[in-house]
Amino acid sequence: MKIKNDFVEKLNIIRDKRVAVVGAGPNLVSVNKISEDLVISADGATNYLYEHGIIPDIIVTDLDGISVFPEESIYVVHAHGDNISKLYKINNMKIVIGSAQVFPFGNIHLFGGFTDGDRAVILAKLFKAKEIVLYGMDFDSGYVGKYSKPYYEQNLPANWVKRNKLKIAKQIIEQVLSKDL
């Protein structure tokens, strides 16, 4: 991978670290402590972690779940057609790295992934984490965690679209964790 800008070089903090990747699944509420060297949160999981005094080093977000913006975090913001109205949130972020699922250009990068959670795992693997430990990644319960969106008050049954997205995310994560990149 060719490094295109100084912000992406900041992701090298992952190298040789034990990395916790934290998703916003229903089981997130059982997370009280993280002992890994570095924390990468997926979108809305950031809100829970922040409430519990855990500041993620890196936040992977498409902007639909996050409502707190720790100043010291690095943000990998995913652009897609239905989050344009949420782009104002980047004004709260100090270090922003753009990502997309299409051909990269300028300072927009294609790291891979389908959801915020599996993009976070891919980043950890791509930037050579020594170990990746998953928290709050619940692909099989049939529920969406209440921290997935800031307006959810409780865990909700996943609709068929969300169930399929979680199935794809699980497959991606299993493949990424089983291979050397």
CA distance linking residue 60 with residue 43, whole number of Å: 6
* Distance separating alpha carbons of residues 97 and 163, to the nearest angstrom: 28
Does 179 or 146 have the greater pLDDT score? Answer: 146
- Per residue in 106-156, pLDDT tens? 888 889 889 999 999 999 999 999 999 999 999 999 999 999 999 999 999
| Domains recognised in the chain with CATH numbers | 8-178 (3.40.50)
Contacts of 107 (CB under 8 A, 6+ apart): 4, 5, 7, 97, 98
Q: What is the pTM of this model?
A: 0.93
Mean pLDDT of the chain: 92
pLDDT of residue 21: 98
